[in-house]
C-alpha cells in the first residue's frame, strides 16, 4: 500500500471495500414502544432479509473515506474555475449558514400556511427581487434547474398560443445555443429549427426572419449569447417574431453580465429563466442542486406552475386555483434551499453590489480577452460581455488541441475552461472568470495560458501528456462507455 502525496491519500478504495461485518457508524435511540417482532407485524412475503452489499464502516473510517475523496476535487475555494457558461463564482459562507437555520431548514412543505409564513416570505421576496432585476411581471421558483425552467417556459408559450388558436409546430433556436434548449423544446412537443449565427457571432437576423412564420411558436435565444456577445438586434428580432404572433424565450444563464445594466423585460422578452446556481451564487454541489426560476410577462402569468405565492396584506398564501396553469414540475415548492441562499446573496450585495458584480465580471472577461488574444485564436472579434471564447486554431498546427490545453491548465493549478462549446467554434475554449477573482489570480491564469501556448509551440509533448500532477492521467472514456461498469460488484 503506497501513498504518494502527504496531504492527499491517493488509494482510498470504494466504501464497499472498506466494509467489514460488525463495524458501524450509526446510533439510534432505544425503541420506546412495545418491541413487537417484525414478523408479527408484517407477512414475510413483504420482507427482505437484508440490504445485500450495504457497507459497514466505523465513523472514523467514514470520515476518512469522504475526506480523502474530497481532496481529489478541484474547487472554487482553492482557485479560479473559469468554466464558460457555468458562472463559477464564489459561494458565500453566509448563504450556507442562513440556509441551515433550523427554523428555516426543518419546515415541512405540506404544513399549514400559517405555520410557514417565514418560508413563504423568503420565496415571495426573492420573486419580487427577480422581477425588479428583469423588469418582468411574474415568477415561479418551482423549476429545479434551468432545463426544467425551459420546459415550463415553452409549455407556457404553448398554452398561450393554444388558447389563441394553435400551439404551432416549431421552435427557432440559434446554433450557438446550449443543448438543453432544443432538448426542452422537443420535450414540450415542438420541432426545432436551427438558426445559424452571422460572422459576428450573433443570430443571423435575415435567416431568422425567413424561418419565422405562423408555424413557429417561439424563438429561444440566449442573451448575452454563449459567445458572451450581446444580441444587439434583440428589439428587431422581437419585433419580427411578435409580428408573426410568436413569442420570445430567453435563456438567462448569462444574466451575470447584465445586472443593473439591462433588463430582459425591456427588450421584448416574453419569458426567461434565471439560474440561481450561477448568477445568484448558490453552490454547484458537484452537479447540483440548482434552481431555475421562470420569469414572465403578464400575458403568460396565468400559465405559470401552481401553487403561486401571493401576498394578502401581512400574510402570504399559496394559490393553486389557476385553471390555465401548465401544472406542476416539482412535487413541492422547488429547491427552496437555493432560494434562501439567493435571497441572502441579493440582500448582502444590495442594488449597488449587484451592479458592481456584473461590472467586474465583464471587466475580468475583457481583460483576459485582451491579454490572451495574441496567443489564442479569437474566432469573432465582436465585443463581449462576461465571457470570451477562443479556439485552438493556432495550437492545432503543432497537434495541440483544446483538450490538451485544458488538461495542461490542471498542472498549473487551474480548473480548465469549458471546452468544445459553443459548437459553432471549432475547438472552443470558453472562459468565464466571473467577478470573484483578484487581479493576481486572473494574471496567474493568463500567464499559465500564455505559458501553455509557448509550450504548444516549443514542447508540445508536455501539453499532450498533461496532466502530470493530477491524481490520474487522462482517462479512457471510450472504454468506460463500452464496458459501461456503472456499479460496484463484490
Partner 1 sequence: MRYVSITPEEKRLMLKATGVDRVEDLFATIPENLRLSKTLDIPEAASETDILKYFHSLGRKNASAEDFEYFLGAGAYNHFIPTVIDSVISRSEFYTSYTPYQPEVSQGTLQATFEFQTLICQLTGMEVANASLYDGGSALAEGVLMAVRTTRRQKVLVAQSVHPEYRRVLETYAANLDIQLQELPFTESGCVDVEALERLVSEDHAAVVIQSPNFFGVLDDVEQAIGLTQSVGALSVVVVSEAISLGLLKPPGELGADIVVGEGQSLGIPLGFGGPYLGLFASKDKYKRQMPGRLVGQTVDSEGRQGYVLTLATREQHIRRQKATSNICTNQGLCALVATVFMSVLGKQGIRELAEQNLKKAFHLRKLLGDSLVFSGATFNEMVVECSEDPAEINRHLVSEGIIGGLPLGRYFPDRSNQMLVCVTEQNSLEKINRLAEALTSVKVTL
Ligand X SMILES: Cc1ncc(COP(=O)(O)O)c(C=O)c1O
H or E element at residue 419 = strand 418-419
> ∠437-441-442 over CA atoms, to 5°?
80
Nearer to ligand X, 147 or 216 (CB): 147
Q: Write 362-371 long-range contacts (CB < 8 A, 24+).
A: 362/257, 362/386, 364/433, 364/434, 364/435, 364/437, 364/442, 365/228, 365/431, 365/432, 365/433, 367/442, 368/431, 368/433, 368/442, 368/445, 368/446, 371/446, 371/450
Q: Lay out the site mask for partner 1 across 184-203 (x = CB under 8 A, - = otherwise).
A: xxxxxx--x-----------
The option from partner 1, a copy of itself, ligand X, none interacting with 309 (CB < 5 to 8 A, set by class) reads none
Closest distance between ligand X and the C-beta of residue 330, in Å? 13
Verify binding: residue 472, a copy of itself, rule CB under 8 A. no
The whole-angstrom separation of Cα 114 and Cα 118 is 9
Smallest CA-to-CA distance from 272 within 172, 154, 373 is with 154
DSSP code for 436: -
Residue 56: which of a copy of itself, partner 1, ligand X, none does it interact with, CB under 5 to 8 A by kind? Answer: partner 1
Q: Is 4 in the site for partner 1 (CB under 8 A)?
A: no
C-alpha to C-alpha distance for 451 and 412, rounded to whole angstroms: 10
Q: Of the listed pieces 71-79, 92-100, 141-149, 307-315, which binds ligand X according to CB under 6 A?
A: 141-149
Please report how close the Cβ of residue 113 comes to partner 1 at its closest, in angstroms.
Answer: 11
Q: Which does 413 bind (CB under 5 to 8 A by kind): ligand X, partner 1, a copy of itself, none?
A: a copy of itself
Phi, psi of 222 (to 5 degrees): -120, 130
State which of positions 379-438 bind partner 1 (CB under 8 A): 382-385, 406-407, 410, 415-416, 421, 435-438
Please say which residue, 250 or 463, places its beta carbon nearer to ligand X: 250
Q: Under the criterion CB under 6 A, does residue 251 sit at the interface with ligand X?
A: yes
Among the listed residues 215, 254, 218, the one whose alpha carbon sits nearest the alpha carbon of residue 238: 218
- Binding part of the chain for a copy of itself, among 66-74, 171-179, 256-264, 425-433 by CB under 8 A, reads 66-74
Q: From the list 95, 119, 180, 434, which residue makes contact with ligand X (rule: CB under 6 A)? A: 180
Spatial neighbors of 479 by CB under 8 A, at least 6 apart, are none
Residue 251 contact among a copy of itself, partner 1, ligand X, none, beta carbon within 5 to 8 Å by kind: ligand X
Sort strands 271-273 and 247-251 into parallel, antiparallel or unpaired.
parallel
The whole-angstrom separation of Cα 219 and Cα 170 is 9
Query: Residue 444's binding partner, choosing from a copy of itself, ligand X, partner 1, none, with beta-carbon cut-off 5 to 8 A by kind?
Result: a copy of itself
Binding of residue 226 to ligand X (CB under 6 A): yes
Dist. CA 134–CA 251, nearest whole Å: 12
Encoded one letter per residue, x for contact with a copy of itself by CB under 8 A and - for no contact, window 242-271 reads: ------------------------------
Say whether residue 106 binds a copy of itself (CB under 8 A).
no
User: CA-to-CA distance for 341 and 283, rounded, in angstroms?
Assistant: 9
Q: Which stretch binds ligand X (CB under 6 A): 74-82, 100-108, 145-153, 480-488?
A: 145-153
CA angle 469, 472, 476 (to 5 degrees): 135
What number of CA atoms fall less than 13 Å from residue 375's CA on the CB side?
A: 19
Cell of 408: 495542461
- Taking the complex as a whole, the smallest distance from the CB of residue 275 to ligand X amounts, in Å, to 5
Window contacting a copy of itself (CB under 8 A); options: 68-76, 171-179, 329-337, 424-432: 68-76
Residues at the interface with a copy of itself (CB under 8 A): 1-9, 18, 20, 23, 27, 58-61, 63-64, 67-68, 71-74, 77-79, 90, 92-93, 348, 410-413, 436-438, 440, 444, 447-448, 467, 469-471
Binding stretches for ligand X (CB under 6 A): 85-86, 145-147, 178, 180, 222, 226, 251, 253, 275, 290, 292
Amino acid at each position: 500500500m503506497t501513498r504518494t502525496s502527504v496531504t492527499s491519500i491517493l488509494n482510498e478504495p470504494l466504501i464497499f471495500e472498506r466494509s467489514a461485518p460488525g463495524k458501524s457508524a450509526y446510533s439510534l435511540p432505544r425503541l420506546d414502544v412495545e418491541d413487537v417482532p417484525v414478523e408479527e407485524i408484517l407477512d414475510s412475503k413483504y420482507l427482505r432479509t437484508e440490504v445485500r452489499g450495504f457497507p459497514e464502516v466505523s465513523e472514523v473510517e467514514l470520515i476518512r473515506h469522504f475526506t480523502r475523496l474530497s481532496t481529489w476535487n478541484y474547487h472554487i475555494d482553492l482557485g479560479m474555475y473559469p468554466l464558460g457558461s457555468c458562472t463559477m463564482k464564489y459561494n458565500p459562507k453566509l448563504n450556507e449558514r442562513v440556509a441551515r437555520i433550523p427554523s428555516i431548514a426543518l419546515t415541512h412543505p405540506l404544513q399549514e400556511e400559517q405555520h410557514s409564513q417565514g418560508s413563504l416570505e423568503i420565496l415571495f421576496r426573492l420573486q419580487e427581487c427577480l422581477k425588479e432585476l428583469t423588469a418582468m411581471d411574474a415568477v415561479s421558483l418551482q423549476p429545479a434547474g434551468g432545463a426544467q425552467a425551459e420546459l415550463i417556459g415553452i409549455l407556457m408559450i404553448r398554452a398561450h398560443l393554444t388558447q389563441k388558436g394553435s400551439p404551432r409546430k416549431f421552435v427557432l433556436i440559434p446554433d450557438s445555443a446550449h443543448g438543453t434548449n432544443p432538448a426542452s423544446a422537443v420535450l414540450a412537443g415542438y420541432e426545432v429549427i436551427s438558426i445559424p449565427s452571422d460572422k459576428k457571432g450573433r443570430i443571423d437576423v435575415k435567416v431568422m426572419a425567413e424561418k419565422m412564420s405562423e408555424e413557429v411558436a417561439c424563438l429561444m435565444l440566449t442573451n448575452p449569447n454563449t459567445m458572451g456577445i450581446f444580441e444587439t438586434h434583440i428589439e428587431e428580432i422581437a419585433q419580427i417574431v411578435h409580428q408573426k404572433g410568436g413569442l420570445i424565450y430567453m435563456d438567462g444563464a448569462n444574466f451575470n453580465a447584465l445586472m443593473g445594466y439591462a433588463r430582459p423585460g425591456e427588450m421584448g422578452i416574453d419569458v426567461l429563466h434565471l439560474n440561481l446556481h450561477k448568477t445568484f451564487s448558490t453552490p454547484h454541489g458537484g452537479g447540483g442542486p440548482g434552481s431555475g426560476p421562470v420569469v414572465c410577462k403578464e400575458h403568460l402569468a396565468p400559465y405559470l406552475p401552481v401553487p403561486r405565492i401571493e401576498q394578502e396584506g401581512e400574510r402570504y398564501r399559496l394559490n393553486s386555483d389557476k385553471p390555465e396553469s401548465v401544472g406542476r414540475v416539482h412535487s413541492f415548492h422547488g429547491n427552496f434551499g437555493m432560494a434562501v441562499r439567493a435571497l441572502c446573496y441579493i440582500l448582502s450585495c444590495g442594488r449597488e453590489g449587484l451592479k458592481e458584480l456584473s461590472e467586474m465580471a465583464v471587466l475580468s472577461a475583457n481583460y483576459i480577452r485582451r491579454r490572451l488574444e495574441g496567443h489564442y485564436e479569437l474566432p469573432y472579434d465582436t465585443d463581449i460581455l462576461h465571457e470570451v471564447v477562443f479556439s485552438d486554431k493556432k495550437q492545432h498546427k503543432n497537434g495541440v488541441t483544446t483538450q490538451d490545453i485544458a488538461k495542461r491548465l490542471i498542472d498549473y493549478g487551474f480548473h480548465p475552461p469549458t471546452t468544445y462549446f459553443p459548437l459553432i467554434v471549432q475547438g472552443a475554449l470558453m472562459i468565464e472568470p466571473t467577478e470573484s477573482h483578484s487581479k493576481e489570480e486572473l494574471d496567474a491564469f493568463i500567464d499559465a495560458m500564455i505559458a501553455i501556448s509557448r509550450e504548444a509551440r516549443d514542447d508540445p509533448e508536455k501539453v499532450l501528456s498533461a496532466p502530470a500532477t493530477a491524481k490520474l492521467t487522462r482517462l479512457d472514456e471510450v472504454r468506460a462507455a463500452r464496458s459501461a461498469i456503472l456499479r460496484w460488484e463484490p
